Each structure stands twice: as C-alpha cells, then as structure tokens.
Structure 1
Amino acid sequence: MDAPTSSPLAQAQPQTGVQITLKLMATLTDYLPQPRQGHQITLNIAPGTTIQDVVERFRLPWKLVHLVLVNGVYIAPDQRDTRVLQEGETLAIWPPVAGG
C-alpha cells in the first residue's frame, strides 16, 4: 500500500531521494553513524525533508543545535522546521561553544 504524499514537490518528482552532506561539529560528531568521514556523512533523505527532520532523525538534543548553516548560510531557529533541504546541499550544525 502506497503512503500518501502531502507535498506538491514530492508529487512532482519521483521518490528517488535527495542526497545531502551532513556535518556535525565538535561534540555532535558522536551522533553520526559509521561509516563516516571525520565529522561528516553523505545522507539520502526523502524529498521535502526539513532541517528539523534531520535533527530529529539523528536524535540531536535541541539544546545542542546552536549554529545551523546550509551551504554556509545561517538558518535562524524559527526557519529550521520549514527549510527544505535540496539535492547537493551541505547541512552543518554546531553546538554552543565556550572559550576562554
């Protein structure tokens, strides 16, 4: 039985998936599965997947999701549940960092 699709984007494109690069920095690297290349993995996601979907998929604690960039562009917290990731993009997430 096929699952219904709610996104017009998902209906317009075949369900082959979207490939992105996920980079988890500093202590968040521990949340990446093996095999990984340092602090990043290549990830296949469904069309219409948001940043929030990826955070939830990897069970990242929201208090540790501090700085979020897509292709080097900052994504504000209020946009992370609606920003859909596209083919070839790089999602990078940093935890809060304290220095001295």
Structure 2
Amino acid sequence: MKITLKLFASLASYLPPNKKNGIEADIDVADTCTIGDIILLYKIPSKSAHLVMVNGVYIKPAERDQYILKPNDALAICPPVAGG
C-alpha cells in the first residue's frame, strides 16, 4: 500500500531519493506496517522522532509500535525543537 512520509527539519535527509518538495515522499509499505517499522526502515534515530502524527493526529510514543498504517495515510515526523 502507499502512504506519504513527511520528515521535517534535520530529518528530511532520511527521505528516499524520490522525495518531493524536500520534505515528503510517497512510499510503498506492507499492509501490516507500523509507525515503528517506518522509523526502523528509514533509520530515523528514535530520539529524533519527537513529534509523530498520522493525518494530523498526534501518536504517543508508547503507541507507535502498535499503530498500523492504512492506505493513503500521511505520516509526519518532526525532531525536537530548540530555541532561545
């Protein structure tokens, strides 16, 4: 099935080469693929996967390995933000 993976800020470098507009890519995943599977597959450091949303809905860290993605989902991952 196909989903959209959006990786923001420093995480954009983990996107596959077919990325569009610099922050997202349409990817094919297994029907039983979880958010945790995507994080492992794309070698995204787990500490950097700070804010994770599916279709704009926040997914808690404890739920990510059980959350099975659905066709056409948009998975967005943002790193921690620091400022001052």
TM-score using structure 2 length: 0.96
Give SS of 2:65's match: coil
State the match for 1:36 in structure 2.
19
State the match for 1:69 in structure 2.
53
2:32 aligned with 1:52, yes or no? no
RMSD between superposed Cα atoms in Å: 0.6
1:47-88 superposed Cα distances (whole Å, 9 cap, x missing partner):
010000000000011110100000000000000000000001
Residue 35 (structure 1) shift: 2.2
Aligned amino acid, residue 32 of structure 1: L
Using CA pairs under 8 Å that are at least 6 residues apart, name the structure with larger relative contact order, 1 or 2.
2
State the match for 1:79 in structure 2.
63
Moved over 6 A (4+): none
Q: What is the percent sequence identity of the aligned residues? A: 47
Residue 45 (structure 1) shift: 0.3
State how far apart, in whole Å, the 1-side matches of 2:46 and 2:15 are: 16
Aligned length, in residue pairs: 83
Gaps of 5+ in 1: 1-17
Gaps of 5+ in 2: none
In our comparison, the structure showing a higher alpha carbon Rg is 1
